[in-house]
C-alpha cells in the first residue's frame, strides 16, 4: 500500500460525510508457516464522524488485536486502517486510546494534571494551552481541581476518569476505548458509561468502544459491530435506534433494548437469530 | 526469574527485581516506639547479655572484652584524629569507586536492558563475571595499583558496586510495563521521549535498589581492601589494633565501621523514600 491519501476520502474541503475511521480488508496472522495463527481473517467497516460504535465479540476473538492495529501499535498482516483519511502507519495523531488497565496506563510518578498533559508536553503544545486543555478535560470528567493528586490516591473509577481526561485533552478525532470499564465495580461502571455518553454528546467525538459486555454495547452505541470467533470476521453490524439521551433505568427497560441485547447475545453464541 | 536474581560474590546480595524487593515496606501504621524503640531495646539487651557473660567469665574476657570496655575504647578512639583520617580515606575511596560504578553501571545496564542483542550477547558473560567474588581481584589490583593510595580501595568498591547497579538497571529497563509503553506510544511519544518519560522513571526503583546494594557492598570491599592490603583506610587500623594486642580497640573500630555502614544505608533509604513516594511499596495514601 502506498502512503497517499485514502482514495475514498474526498481530497480536502468537505469531509463531513467521509468516514473518520475506516478498516479495509484488515487481517492479522501471528507467526508463520505451520505455527501461524490467524487472529483476524478479514475485517472491513467504516465509522462516520460523531458515531458511537461498540465492537463486541466472544472472548479471545481478537478485539484487542484489531484495536492495536487501528491504534498503530501493531502492523496488520493484510489490509489497512485509515484514521481521518490517513493510512495508519504508527500511532495516528488524531486518535486517543483509553486502556482497560488504568493503573498501568497512567504514570504513577506523575500527578493527575501531568498525566493529562504529558502527551501534550511531548508534542510541545504551549504551556498555557496545556493548562487550559487540562482544566477543561478534568472538568469534563468530573474531576475539577484534582490536578495535584496522584492517580494512586484515587479510586479505580476516578483513575479511569483521569485516563479519559487525558484522551480528551489530546483532542483526537477518534476516541478508542479498550474494555475501559471491565475492571470497575458496577456502580462506577454505570457512572462512567453515562459520562462517556455525555462527553460524546457534548463534543461530537467519534467513539470506538471495545467491550465484551453485551448490555454495555447496546446501551452505549449507535451501531454494534459483532465479531465472530477466531479467525475473526464480522458476524453482523446492528443499528441501535434507542432514544437519546439514554438512561440506565428507562433505556434498559425498553423492549427494543431487550430485543437488541438478545440479538447480540445470540449472534455471539453463534445461534441463528429469530426474525 | 529465580536464576536471574542478582547475586554477587560472597556478599550474597540477592534482591529480586520485583516491586516487593525494591525497598523496605512502608512503615505506616507503626509508632515511633515500635519502629525505633523496640529494636533499640533488643540491641541494649544483647549488649547487656554480652557484658554479663564476659564479666562473669562465661566468655573469655581476654579475647572478648566486656561491652563497657569496648565502649570506653570506642569513646577514646573517636577522640583521636587518626581514626577519622582513616575513615575519611576509606570513604573517599568508596565515593570515587561508587561514582565510577554509577557512571559505568547505569549506562551499561540501560543498554543491556533496552537492546535485545546486547542482552543476548553479554548476559551469559555477565552472569559468569558477577559470580566471581570481587575480593579475588585484590592480588591483581595490588600489583596494578599498589597499596598506598586511595586507588586500590576505590577499584575494589567499583568492582563490588558496578554489578548490582548494572544488573538492577538492566532488569528495571526490561521490566517496564508493556501497557505503559503502549500508552506512551499511542500518545505519539518517540523512542527518546519514551525513554525519558517512561523507561527511566519506571526503572528508577530498580536502579535505586542497585545503588543501595552497590553502595553497601562497595563499602565492605573498600574496608576489606585496607584490611588485607594495608594502606590508609579503616581496615588497616582494625588490623593494626589486633597486631598491637588491643582487642577492645579491634571491636571498637569494627563497631565504628558498622555505624558508618548503617549511616550509608539509612541515608540512601531516606533518599529513596523521598524520590519513590509514588511507588507501590511506599504509598501512604490509598483510598
pLDDT of B122-179, one tens digit each? 888 888 887 888 888 888 888 888 877 788 999 999 999 999 999 999 999 999 999 9
Q: Where does the pLDDT of residue A18 fall: very low under 50, low under 70, confident under 90, or very high at 90 and above? A: confident
CB within 8 Å of B167: residues ≥ 6 apart: B6, B109, B126, B130, B210
For residue A258, is pLDDT > 90? yes
Q: CA nearest B211: which of B145, B280, B272?
A: B272
* Per-residue CA distances from A121 to A131, B83, B179, B197 (Å): 10, 53, 20, 10
| CB-based contact B141:B205 (threshold 8 Å) | no
**Cβ neighbours of B78 (radius 10 Å):** 15
pLDDT in tens, A150-164: 999 999 999 999 999
Q: Do the Cβ atoms of A109 and B201 come within 8 Å? A: yes
Q: What is the mean pLDDT of chain B?
A: 85
Whether the predicted pLDDT of A97 surpasses 60: yes
Q: Among residues of chain B, what percentage have pLDDT more than 90? A: 56
Name, in order, each residue with C-beta under 8 angstroms of B87's C-beta and a sequence gap of 6 or more.
B234, B256, B260
Please report which residue ranges of chain A form alpha helices under DSSP H.
Answer: 63-70, 102-105, 112-122, 127-140, 156-169, 186-203, 214-220, 250-253, 255-268
Cα separations in angstroms, B188 against A106, A123, A160, A185, B185: 15, 8, 20, 31, 5
Is A70's Cβ below 8 Å from some Cβ in B?
no
> For A99, phi and psi rounded to 5 degrees?
-95, 160
DSSP assignment of A60-127 equals TSSHHHHHHHHTTSS--SEEEEEETTEE-SSS-TTEEEE-S-HHHHS-TTS-HHHHHHHHHHHTT--H
3-class SS at A54?
Answer: strand
Q: What is the DSSP letter of B166?
A: H
Residue A214 to residue B112: CA distance in whole angstroms: 45
B3 has a pLDDT exceeding 60: no
The mean pLDDT value for A242-267 works out to 91
pLDDT at A98 exceeding the cut of 90: yes
Whether pLDDT at B15 is above 60: no
Whether A177 and A209 have beta carbons less than 8 Å apart is answered as yes
Asked if A40 and A27 touch (Cβ cutoff 8 Å), the reply is yes
* DSSP-derived pairing of the beta strands A232-239 and A37-47: parallel
Q: Virtual CA dihedral for B42, B46, B51, B54, nearest 10 degrees?
A: 170
CA pair distance B218, B9, nearest whole angstrom: 12
ipTM: 0.85
A236, A226 contact by CB (below 8 A): yes
For residues B23-55, b (16+ Cβ closer than 10 Å) or e, as one string?
beeeeeeeeeeeeeeeeeeeeeeeeeebbeebe
**Contact with chain A for residue B55, Cβ under 8 A:** no
Which class in CATH covers the domain with range B32-275? mainly alpha
Distance CA B193, CA B175 (A): 18
Question: In the prediction, which pLDDT does A44 show?
Answer: 94
Q: Using the 8-state DSSP alphabet, how is residue A228 labeled?
A: -
Cβ–Cβ contacts within 10 Å for residue B183, how many? 27
CB proximity A118 to B under 8 Å? yes
Mean pLDDT of A35-58: 92
- Asked if B180 reaches chain A (Cβ–Cβ under 8 Å), the answer is yes
Segment B184-199 mean pLDDT: 92
Check: CB of residue A167 under 8 Å from CB of residue A161.
no
CB B278 within 8 A of CB A152: yes
Considering only the C-alpha atoms of chain B, give the largest distance between any 2 of them, rounded to a whole number of Å.
75
Q: Give the residue-averaged pLDDT of B104-130.
A: 90
Task: Region of A185 please: left (phi>0), alpha (psi -120 to 50) or beta.
Answer: beta
Chain A residue with minimal CA distance to B189?
Answer: A122
- Topology given in CATH for the domain delimited by A1-94+206-275: Rossmann fold (3.40.50)
**Is the Cβ of B285 closer than 8 Å to some Cβ of chain A?**
yes
Q: What is the pLDDT of residue B281?
A: 77
The count of other CB atoms within 10 Å of the CB of residue A28 is 24
d(CA B110, CA B203): 9
Instruction: Judge whether residue B17 has pLDDT over 90.
Output: no
Q: Which of A93, A99, A154 sits opposite B179 (nearest CB)?
A: A99
Decide the pairing of beta strands A37-47 and A21-30. antiparallel
Residue-level pLDDT at B1: 37
Residue with cell 469534563: A140
Residue among A91, A107, A109 minimizing CB distance to B186: A91
| Length of chain B, in residues | 287
Question: In the prediction, which pLDDT does B9 show?
Answer: 37
pTM as predicted: 0.80
Residues of chain A with Cβ-Cβ distance to B285 below 8 Å are 152-153
Which DSSP state fits A3? S
- The average pLDDT across A71-97 equals 93
Q: Do A73 and B186 touch (CB under 8 A)?
A: yes
Amino acid at each position: 500500500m502506498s502512503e497517499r491519501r485514502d482514495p475514498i476520502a474526498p481530497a480536502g474541503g468537505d469531509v463531513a460525510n467521509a468516514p473518520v475511521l475506516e478498516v479495509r480488508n484488515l487481517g492479522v496472522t501471528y507467526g508463520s508457516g505451520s505455527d501461524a495463527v490467524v487472529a483476524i481473517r478479514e475485517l472491513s467497516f467504516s465509522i462516520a464522524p460523531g458515531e458511537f460504535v461498540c465492537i463486541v465479540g466472544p472472548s479471545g476473538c481478537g478485539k484487542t488485536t484489531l484495536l492495536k492495529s487501528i491504534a498503530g501499535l501493531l502492523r496488520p498482516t493484510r489490509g489497512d486502517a485509515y484514521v481521518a483519511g490517513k493510512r495508519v502507519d504508527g500511532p495516528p495523531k488524531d486518535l486517543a486510546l483509553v486502556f482497560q488497565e488504568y493503573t498501568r496506563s497512567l504514570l504513577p510518578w506523575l500527578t493527575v494534571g501531568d498525566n493529562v498533559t504529558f502527551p501534550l508536553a511531548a508534542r510541545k503544545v504551549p504551556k498555557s494551552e496545556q493548562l487550559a486543555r487540562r482544566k477543561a478535560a478534568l472538568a469534563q470528567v468530573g474531576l475539577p481541581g484534582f490536578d495535584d493528586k496522584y492517580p494512586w490516591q484515587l479510586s479505580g473509577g476516578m483513575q479511569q476518569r483521569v485516563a479519559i481526561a487525558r484522551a480528551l485533552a489530546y483532542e483526537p478525532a477518534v476516541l478508542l476505548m479498550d474494555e475501559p470499564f471491565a475492571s470497575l465495580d458496577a456502580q462506577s461502571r454505570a457512572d462512567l458509561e453515562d459520562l462517556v455518553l455525555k462527553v460524546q454528546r457534548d463534543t461530537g467525538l467519534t467513539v470506538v468502544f471495545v467491550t465484551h459486555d453485551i448490555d454495555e454495547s447496546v446501551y452505549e452505541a449507535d451501531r454494534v459491530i459483532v465479531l465472530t470467533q477466531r479467525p475473526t470476521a464480522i458476524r453482523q453490524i446492528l443499528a441501535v435506534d434507542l432514544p437519546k439521551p439514554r438512561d440506565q433505568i428507562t433505556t434498559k427497560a425498553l423492549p427494543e433494548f431487550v430485543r437488541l441485547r438478545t440479538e447480540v447475545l445470540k449472534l455471539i453464541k453463534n445461534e441463528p437469530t429469530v426474525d | 526469574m529465580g536464576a536471574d536474581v542478582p547475586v554477587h560474590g560472597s556478599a550474597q546480595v540477592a534482591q529480586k527485581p520485583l516491586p516487593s524487593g525494591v525497598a523496605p515496606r512502608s512503615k505506616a501504621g507503626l509508632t515511633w516506639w515500635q519502629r525505633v524503640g523496640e529494636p533499640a531495646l533488643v540491641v541494649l539487651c544483647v549488649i547487656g547479655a554480652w557484658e554479663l557473660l564476659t564479666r562473669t567469665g562465661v566468655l573469655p574476657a581476654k579475647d572478648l572484652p566486656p561491652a563497657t570496655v569496648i565502649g570506653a575504647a570506642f569513646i577514646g578512639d573517636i577522640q583521636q584524629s587518626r581514626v577519622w583520617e582513616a575513615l575519611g580515606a576509606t570513604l573517599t575511596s568508596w565515593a570515587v569507586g561508587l561514582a565510577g560504578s554509577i557512571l559505568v553501571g547505569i549506562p551499561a545496564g540501560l543498554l543491556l536492558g533496552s537492546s535485545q542483542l546486547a542482552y543476548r550477547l553479554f548476559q551469559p558473560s555477565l552472569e559468569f563475571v558477577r559470580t566471581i567474588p570481587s575480593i579475588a581481584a585484590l592480588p591483581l589490583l595490588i600489583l596494578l595499583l599498589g597499596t598506598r593510595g586511595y586507588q586500590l580501595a576505590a577499584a575494589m568498591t567499583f568492582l563490588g558496586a558496578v554489578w548490582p547497579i548494572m544488573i538492577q538497571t538492566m532488569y528495571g529497563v526490561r521490566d517496564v510495563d508493556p501497557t505503559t509503553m503502549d500508552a506512551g506510544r499511542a500518545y505519539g511519544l518517540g523512542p527518546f521521549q519514551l525513554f525519558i518519560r517512561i523507561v527511566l522513571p519506571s526503572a528508577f526503583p530498580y536502579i535505586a535498589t542497585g545503588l543501595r546494594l552497590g553502595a553497601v557492598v562497595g563499602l565492605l570491599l573498600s574496608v576489606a581492601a585496607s584490611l588485607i592490603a594495608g594502606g590508609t583506610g579503616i581496615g588497616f587500623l582494625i588490623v593494626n589494633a589486633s597486631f598491637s594486642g588491643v582487642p577492645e580497640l579491634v571491636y571498637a573500630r569494627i563497631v565504628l565501621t558498622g555505624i558508618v555502614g548503617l549511616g550509608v544505608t539509612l541515608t540512601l533509604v531516606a533518599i529513596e523514600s523521598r524520590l519513590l513516594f509514588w511507588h507501590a511499596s511506599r504509598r501512604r495514601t490509598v483510598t
